Chains A and B, each alone.
Chain A
Amino acid sequence: MEQVHPTRMELIKKRSQIALAEQGRDLLKEKMEALIQEFFRIMVTFTESREELEAVSASAERSLIIAQAVDDPVTLRSASFATKRQLTVDMCGKNIMGIPVPVIQKTSVMLNVMQRGYSIIGTSGRIDETAEKYESVIDIIIRLAETETTLRRLGDEIQMNRRRVNALDQVVIPELKQQAKYIRFSIEEREREDMFRLKKVKKLIERKKKKKRQASMRSG
Chain B
Amino acid sequence: MDIGYVNARVRGMHSYLLPRKSLDNLVLKPDIESFIEELEKTLYREDLERALVIEFGVRGIENALRNNLIRTFRKIFRFVEGDLGEKYVRIFLRRWDIHNIKTILRGKKIQISSQEIRDCLVPAGELDEVTLRELLKQPDVKAVIDLLATWGHDVSIPLTRNFEKYSKSYDLVILEYALDEYYYEWALSQVSGRSKDEEIIRNLIATEIDVTNIKTIFSLQRDSIDPEDGEQILLLGGKFLERKKLVEMLGQSSFSDLFSYLQPTPYRFLEELKSSDNRVKMSAYQNALDAFLIRQGASVFRGDPLSITIIIGYLWAKYNEIINLRIIARCKSVMVTLESLEAELTYV
Contact = CB atoms under 8 A, between A and B. Distances in A.
B47 interface: no
A114 B216 CA distance: 10
A52 interface: no
A117 B286 CA distance: 20
B66 interface: yes
B344 A70 contact: yes
Interface string A117-149: 111111011101100000000000000000000
Interface stretch (B18-26, B103-111, B254-262): B103-111
Nearest to A116: B173
B180 interface: yes
B110 A65 contact: no
Interface string B176-191: 1101110000000000
A104 to B, nearest CB: 25
Nearest to A118: B176
Contacts of A84: 110
B119 A77 contact: yes
Contact of B225 (A77, A81, A112): A112
B223 interface: yes
Interface in A56-91: 62-63, 65-66, 68-70, 72-75, 77-78, 81-82, 84
Given A82-B172, A114-B223, A129-B283, A120 B103 contact: no
Interface stretch (B72-80, B266-274, B295-303, B330-338): B330-338
A121 B180 contact: yes
A201 interface: no
Contact of B99 (A78, A121, A128): A78
Contact of A69 (B109, B181, B344): B344
B331 A75 contact: no
A34 interface: no
B285 interface: yes
Contacts, number: 121
Contact of A125 (B172, B177, B180, B282): B282
B29 interface: no
Interface string B271-282: 000000000001
Interface in B82-116: 98-99, 102-103, 106-107, 109-110, 112
Contact of B229 (A66, A114, A125): A114
Contacts of B235: 121
A19 interface: no
A78 B327 CA distance: 19
Contacts of B215: 120, 124-125
Contact of A124 (B109, B172, B286): B286
A82 B235 CA distance: 22
DSSP majority for the A interface? helix
B345 to A, nearest CB: 10
Contacts of A171: none
Nearest to A73: B62
A69 B233 contact: no
B102 to A, nearest CB: 7
A96 interface: no
Nearest to A68: B330
B66 A74 contact: yes
Given A77-B119, A113-B223, A129-B283, A72 B66 contact: yes
B348 interface: no
26 contacts: A62-B336, A69-B326, A70-B290, A70-B326, A70-B327, A70-B344, A72-B326, A73-B59, A74-B103, A74-B119, A78-B106, A81-B106, A81-B112, A112-B224, A112-B225, A118-B106, A118-B172, A118-B173, A119-B177, A119-B233, A120-B215, A120-B216, A120-B219, A121-B177, A125-B282, A128-B219
Given A68-B330, A129-B283, 8 more contacts: A74-B121, A78-B103, A81-B103, A112-B224, A118-B173, A121-B176, A125-B282, A125-B283
